[in-house]
Amino acid sequence: MQAYMLFLSAFGFIPVKALDKCQSQKFSDFARALGPVLSPGASINFPGTDEFANATTRFSAYGAPDFAVTVDVATEGDVDNVLPVSASAHPLLGPGLGGGHGWNQGRYGLGLDQIVEANLVLGDGSRIVVSEDSHADLFWGLRGAGHNFGIYTFTQDKLEALFGLLDSFVADGAQPVELRHWVTFMRVPEIDPIHAVLATWIVYEGTPERASPYTSKMEALGPATTTFNTTAYPGIVVLMGMDRGAVSCLENGDHVLRFPIDVRGYNLTAHRAAYTIFDEVSGAYPALSGATMLNEGYSVRAVQAVPADNTAYPDRFNNLLLSASFRVKPNAAAEDATGGMDMDQIAIEAGLKIRRTLFEGGGSPDLYTYVNYGLGLETLENYYGYEDWRLARLRELKAKYDPDRKFSFYAPIE
Ligand SMILES: *[C@@H]1O[C@H](CO)[C@@H](O)[C@H](O)[C@H]1NC(C)=O
Ligand SMILES: *[C@@H]1O[C@H](CO)[C@@H](O)[C@H](O)[C@H]1NC(C)=O
Ligand SMILES: *[C@@H]1O[C@H](CO)[C@@H](O)[C@H](O)[C@H]1NC(C)=O
């Protein structure tokens, strides 16, 4: 098992949330006074500076908080000094705290399964070490509460054949650790000017010969385009179009609205219906033409090897993460002359409808929505699980470690 230490200073900055203009001014004055108590490597950054802009740039600007000032901390001691003066602090929340679902989860488990110890500063400024041996209760809560390569593009008429094949790879959790698939519904007019296509990545860890049982079946389906590449692990993000600067990682003020749902397998009837909703809405509004729907199919072997109650992460039993994802320009309605319609609202209605359709086809009574992708419309059970004891345990932790609710900007445990 890989292990790494998680230090607060590694998060780089503590944003301080502004309440109103007067309090902003008070904060600015306070932050100036804070200067002398911080370590020499720390800095206090105000709006209008590059440092402030970088520290507050977000993947999605939807529902973003306002910040009056950011403090770039250099030592853990700086964190103690900053936190007690902030009215509210953004969670120090890396993807690992919400799950850390990813390419290598079949081999190593979730990102949060790699955490062996964390140095935390609580809302009251006290500093604690959290591990199996120290504050084991909070250690549990912290974890849950963030090749060879073929790219195929299929036209939509192949949807049932493609997802039927992928479902056989998933095999209800038995997908080999070497194999990962990823399908994105997206509009590529050069391939299909009318309907969204199914862009499919097969990422196989091993030789082309070992991958051929999977790749030959993909080819037999008759893709519109096929590309093969070989890369080392760090190259995957480039081939997936997820490196820094790629459109999916832009931090340009767009609203990114995602509608995650975990499912055990692909239900072809429900998947076709979800595709149709996606295709219609992304085709009808130019402002939504950059929409995607992600179908993330990684092995779950090491994820499911960890007992369900070991960490706060509630959903180790579903095999796939599906999420409609709409990238909306905040001023899209005006630009597109769409009659002033609220594009966020149109995307939200379509996204919820897609999720409901997938949920109804999933045959499960409980909707699980990966907390790292959530929009904020979800329930606590959707994020943190349906067993009464889970939420009770998280509420106890909240009362014990964050009684003043300083870390409650997103998906707060109430
Ligand atoms: C801000 O981010 C950009 C892009 O990553 C980087 O080039 C620049 O150096 C950063 N500026 C500061 C002051 O950190
Ligand atoms: C992947 O392979 C194709 C040819 O099949 C090539 O055009 C493309 O540049 C390669 N991509 C990368 C990132 O190496
Ligand atoms: C698949 O989805 C359809 C439509 O929601 C539903 O009627 C059907 O029962 C689902 N099939 C399974 C096996 O759950």
**Which range has the top average pLDDT, 60-64, 117-121, 288-292?**
288-292
pLDDT-derived band at 30, boundaries 50, 70, 90: low
Say if strands 255-263 and 13-17 run parallel, antiparallel, or are unpaired.
unpaired
The percent of residues above 90 in pLDDT, for the chain, comes to: 43
Give the pLDDT of residue 358: 98
Secondary structure (H, E, C), the chain? CCCEEECHHHHCEEEEECCCHHHHHHHHHHHHHHHHHCCCCCEEECCCCHHHHHHHCCCCCCCCCCEEEEEECCCHHHHHHHHHHCCCECCCCCHHHHCCCCCCHHHHCCHHHHEEEEEEECCCCCEEEEECCECHHHHHHHCCCCCEEEEEEECHHHHHHHHHHHHHHHHHHCCCCCEEEEEEEECCCCCCCCCCEEEEEEEECCCHHHHHHHHHHHHHCCCCEEEEEECCHHHHHHHCCCCCCCHHHCCCCCEEEEEEEEECCCCHHHHHHHHHHHHHHHHHCHHHCCCEEEEEEECCHHHHCCCCCCCCCCCCCCCEEEEEEEEECCCHHHHHCCCCCCHHHHHHHHHHHHHHHHHHHHCCCCCCCCHHHCCCCCCHHHHHCCCHHHHHHHHHHHHHHCCCCCCCCCCCCC
Which tops the pLDDT comparison, 401 or 7? 401
Distance 231 CA to ligand 2 centre (A): 10
State the pLDDT at residue 91.
35
Measure 185 CA to ligand 2 centroid, in angstroms.
21
> Does 205 share its domain with 111?
no
Residue 195 pLDDT greater than 70, yes or no: yes
- Hey, whose CA ends up nearest to atom 4 of ligand 1? 54
Give the end of a domain, one of 85, 112, 136: 85
Residues 121 and 213 in one domain: no
Q: Are residues 321 and 334 in the same domain?
A: yes
168 and 58 fall within a common domain = no
CA–centroid distance, residue 349 to ligand 3 (Å):
22
Q: Domain containing 78: what range?
A: 4-85
Task: CATH number of the domain at 123, please.
Answer: 3.30.465.10
The domain tally of the chain equals 3
Residues 198-216: tens digit of each pLDDT? 999 998 888 888 889 999 9
pLDDT at residue 351 greater than cutoff 50: yes
pTM: 0.78
pLDDT-wise least confident of 5-14, 21-30, 65-74, 238-247: 5-14
List pLDDT tens digits, range 100-116.
777 778 788 777 777 77
Residues 248 and 363 in one domain: yes
pLDDT value of position 264: 96
Ligand 3 pocket: which of 159, 269, 322, 355 to mutate (most atoms within 8 A of CB): 269
Q: Which residues line ligand 2 (CB under 6 A)?
A: 227-229, 238-239
One domain for residues 129 and 158: no
Is residue 413, in this structure, part of any structural domain at all? no
Residues 342 and 373 in one domain: yes
Identify whether residues 138 and 217 lie together within a single domain: no
Tens of pLDDT, residue by residue over 371-395, are 889 998 999 999 999 999 999 999 9
User: Binning pLDDT at 50, 70 and 90, where does residue 131 land?
Assistant: confident
Q: Is 414 among the domain residues?
A: no
Q: Is 190 in the pocket of ligand 1 (CB under 6 A)?
A: no
Work out the average pLDDT over 274-286.
96
Instruction: Tell whether 311 is covered by a domain.
Output: yes
pLDDT score, position 85: 40
